[in-house]
Amino acid sequence: MATWNLVNADDPLLARTAIKSFPSASVTDYGAVGDGVTDDTTAISSAFASGVDLYFPAGDYLITTALAGPAASMHITGENGARLFSSTLYVLMNLQSSTDVTFENITFETELVNAANLSSGLITAAQKTLTRYKFLNCKFLSPNAGCNGLKIVTDGMADATAVDDFLVDGCYFDTGRMGVEFTDHTAGTFSRIRNVTVQNSTFDDCCFVGGEIQFSYSGRLLGCSVLYCHFIGGGGACIEYARDCQHTLIIGNTFEGLEDGCKPITMTNNTNDEYNYRPTIALNKSMGRSGESVSLWQTKEARLYGNEFTTVNIPMDVRGSIGLRADGDIYDGSTSSVVGVGYLITGPGTDLPSTDCAWTDCTIIQSSASITTAPVRFSSTGAVTTNNRVVDSRITRGASSTKDADDSGTATGNSLWRCGSGDFWRSTITYNTLNGDHTMLFSQIDADEIIFDGALLTNNRTITIPLSYRTWLFYNDTDYILTFTTPGITSAQVAVPSKGAARIAFNGTVLTALALQPFGSLYLNFGVISAQSYADLTITVTGAVIGDAVALGVHNTAVTAGVAYTAWVRAADTVTVRAHNYTGVSSPNPAGAIFKASIIR
């Protein structure tokens, strides 16, 4: 029986520790010394091949040849200060196909110095089947050599599932290349890598070579997650998902001290037309302003909520994506637009637009006082970026920006809905019509009803409004005709006469005037109504036809005990209002009042 204490009060990176006591063999039983000088390669190889649970006493275990990974069903644990290292190797261990293997509380380190991109890992698995594999509270150190901490590659494997249920928990990475990399670049329709979780781990300025990516999932991976990790520094990307990853989770991660060009999260596909499908990105946070955009390229039905990204460049960059939904996010950018929604040229050359993406209850802040671009920008060149929207959100633009959102290139049909520009949203706004033709901004049409006031007008004018999938009620309170049109669709025009109104809608193709619901009002006084009788009066409602449903508005002063009112269309343009006296004896005399009749269609 071997008993040891894993508690390390001096090392916060190993906070998830415990006192363990279970039957186990020590690597020293197989001849390992751990003095930092003796070559322990053969002894540790023998221990890994034994198939029994092992522990490493505190010490520095030198190896000179890469180890073969352990047999199945082994738990290999280190006392505090147990280090497996080499001064001649980059790859310390090549994992073998195995299942139910756990490494815990061990430091893996190379002392080599090499700035080249070595494309290898301290722990490497190439075309191996690994299931229920764990690395717990381990350290991976190659600060001066361009190799990974963990590198798992399944390219070309025939297995439908090569890696499944792989956990990295509570680990620390300070490596010259990626901290963690899982890769499957084999063409196909199934995922060889599934259910990988990396959580509660720290990536400390990993990767000075190879694109400077600290963490990478690459290929058609399924259910691979990054949870509650902390990323420090980095020049390219902290978390990368490349190609068509499916059902991923990126939750609770924090980012600190990133270089200006470093992306906290990037999701791309530069190989085919497949989408990164249904990623969930939630509760991630920038710790101070650093880095640039969260890049979500070629995603489908991405779900974001509760994130806070504070970056130097554009915080949210969405391209070639469909059906994204963001709820309650905060984006704060200091040198450009804050939310960019655009198109993507993929590997085969397909122009993929962004469509049907929505941001709801978000805070969008443009912190720079000198940037003139809009905080929200929709763009495309060929295929149209369209039907994207920002809803119920707060938009704060920089001092030099004159608009909250705009369309660029062929982008059209995008909109703001109920968004306040540093203020609360108003459902009805008044627009002071200039004495000339004018193009309105997104923020100027973000209302249900718009009153056009034209005290300065001297002639009929044309108002161009952005193409947005929505409906407005326009009141022309001027003395001239206002003709509303949309950019690039000159035939889609609606003229509203002086002192008139029109309900206008854009359906993606044309701008049309919808028929206003017929309405009329009149002062009615029914006088004395005999018992068990009724009295009829009429209201003119232009446009009413027999069979229309009528909504009747009754003023409070006309409400009388025993009297009920009904209304119907008796003839074209005529609504009859009937006052019924349902009492048997009294003869009530309802007070005269304004009655309103609306046609419902």
Cα distance between residue 239 and residue 260, in whole Å:
16
Distances (CA, A) of 582 to 526, 552, 575: 15, 19, 22
Cα distance between residue 55 and residue 78, in whole Å:
5
Work out the average pLDDT over 162-184.
Answer: 93
Task: Of 182-186, 308-312, 485-489, give the lowest mean pLDDT range.
Answer: 485-489
Whether 235 has a pLDDT exceeding 50, the answer reads yes
Residue 8: per-residue pLDDT: 46
Q: pLDDT by residue (tens digit) across 443-460?
A: 888 888 888 887 778 899
Q: pLDDT by residue (tens digit) across 174-202?
A: 998 899 999 988 877 778 899 999 999 99
Helix (H, G, I), strand (E, B) or coil at 10: coil
Could you say which architecture CATH assigns to the domain 37-232? 3 Solenoid (2.160)
Residue boundaries of the structural domains of the chain: 37-232, 428-514, 519-600
Cα distance between residue 299 and residue 344, in whole Å:
11
* Banded pLDDT at 368 (limits 50, 70, 90): confident
For residues 33-45, one letter each, b for 16 or more C-beta atoms within 10 angstroms of the residue's C-beta and e for the rest, the string is bbeeeeebbebbb
Contact 493, 485 (CB under 8 A): yes
Helix (H, G, I), strand (E, B) or coil at 557: helix
Work out the average pLDDT over 313-338.
Answer: 89
* Banded pLDDT at 547 (limits 50, 70, 90): very high
Residue 349: per-residue pLDDT: 44
Q: What is the dihedral of CA 180, 185, 189, 195, to 10 degrees?
A: -10
Task: Of 268-272, 309-313, 398-402, 486-490, give the lowest mean pLDDT range.
Answer: 486-490
Contacts of 158 (CB under 8 A, 6+ apart): none
Residue 476 token pair? 């022309």
Whether 209 has a pLDDT exceeding 50, the answer reads yes
Work out the average pLDDT over 548-553.
Answer: 91
C-beta neighbour count of 47 within 10 angstroms: 26
